[in-house]
Amino acid sequence: MNAKRAIPVRERNIVLIGFMGVGKTTIGQLVAKKLYRDFIDIDQEIEKDFNMSIPEMFEEKGEDFFRKTEKEYILDICRHKRFKIVSLGGGSFKQEEIRKCCLENCLVLHLDLSWENWKQRADLLIESRPVLHNRSMDEMEQLFNERKVIYDKHNSKVATDNLSPEEVADYIVETLKIGWDLYQPM
Ligand code: S3P
């Protein structure tokens, strides 16, 4: 038999996906703290290693370069790390290889915010998110809905409307503990 041995559920990285600005980084940091695990934000890792912001990278090296880089970083963590809490950039799940690797090796949680709530945050996000530049509200809504389809591939979804980051993180931690006990009692 050459089937790969599945990673035990408790050891799997917890991967947060969702649209830009739904709180993946803030909530990921809180979850990591509550579980005494390390937190990795893919965009922050890229910014640190290349010594440039994501908008600068889009500007100077182009989106294709960024997408290739985020894929390398995510696949590396997916394949070689365990026990991490990982926040992905909102566009990364468009890449099939990333989706496949995360769903095979990690627990993927979709942070699901409604469009009505998201659009109230839009002004705060646009400058630092190059894919939102020069888009009308209607175009942003279209992108939001297109992305929803790719985030549908997940292990679990958390509806975050009207919840604080702390409340979402508590909910995730409780749900994970129930899931871990169910699938792999200590
Ligand atoms: C992007 C989302 C961003 C960042 C980049 C592209 C996207 O991350 O990776 O600006 O295409 O949705 P956040 O989801 O953390 O904002």
Q: How far is CA 50 from CA 28, 87, 89, 132, 161, in A?
A: 23, 18, 16, 22, 34
Q: Name which of 144, 171, 179, 153 is nearest 20 in CA terms.
A: 144
pTM of the model: 0.96
For residue 184, name the pLDDT band (cuts at 50, 70, 90). Answer: confident
The secondary structure of 86-112 as a DSSP string is: EE--TTGGGSHHHHHHHHHHSEEEEEE
Among protein residues, the one with the nearest Cα to ligand 1's atom 8 is 89
Tell the burial category of 43 from Cβ atoms under 10 Å away from its Cβ (0-12, 13-18, 19+).
buried
For the chain, percent of residues with pLDDT exceeding 90: 93
DSSP label at residue 161: T
Q: What is the reported pLDDT for 1?
A: 44
pLDDT tens digits, one per residue of 91-112: 999 999 999 999 999 999 999 9
For residue 2, name the pLDDT band (cuts at 50, 70, 90). Answer: very low
Query: Given the CA of residue 131, which atom of ligand 1 is nearest to it?
Result: 11
- CB of 41 closer than 6 angstroms to any ligand 1 atom: no
List binding-site positions for Mg(2+).
25
Task: Please report the domains of the chain, with CATH numbers, ordered by start residue.
Answer: 9-181 (3.40.50.300)
Q: What is the reported pLDDT for 152?
A: 96
Q: What is the reported pLDDT for 185?
A: 77
Determine contact, residues 78/102, Cβ cutoff 8 Å: yes
Q: What is the reported pLDDT for 142?
A: 98
Among protein residues, the one with the nearest Cα to ligand 1's atom 7 is 91
- CB of 130 closer than 6 angstroms to any ligand 1 atom: yes
CA of 90 to the centre of ligand 1 (A): 4
The answer on pLDDT for 122 being more than 80 is: yes
Q: Name which of 161, 176, 131, 152 is nearest 36 in CA terms.
A: 176
Pocket test for ligand 1, best of 111, 126, 129 (most atoms within 8 A of CB): 129
Q: Name which of 139, 162, 155 is nearest 103 in CA terms.
A: 155
- CB of 24 closer than 6 angstroms to any ligand 1 atom: yes
How is residue 1 written in tokens? 């038999």
Among protein residues, the one with the nearest Cα to ligand 1's atom 16 is 20
Q: Name which of 127, 105, 103, 108 is nearest 53 in CA terms.
A: 127
For residue 4, name the pLDDT band (cuts at 50, 70, 90). Answer: low
Q: How far is CA 164 from CA 26, 142, 176, in A?
A: 10, 26, 18
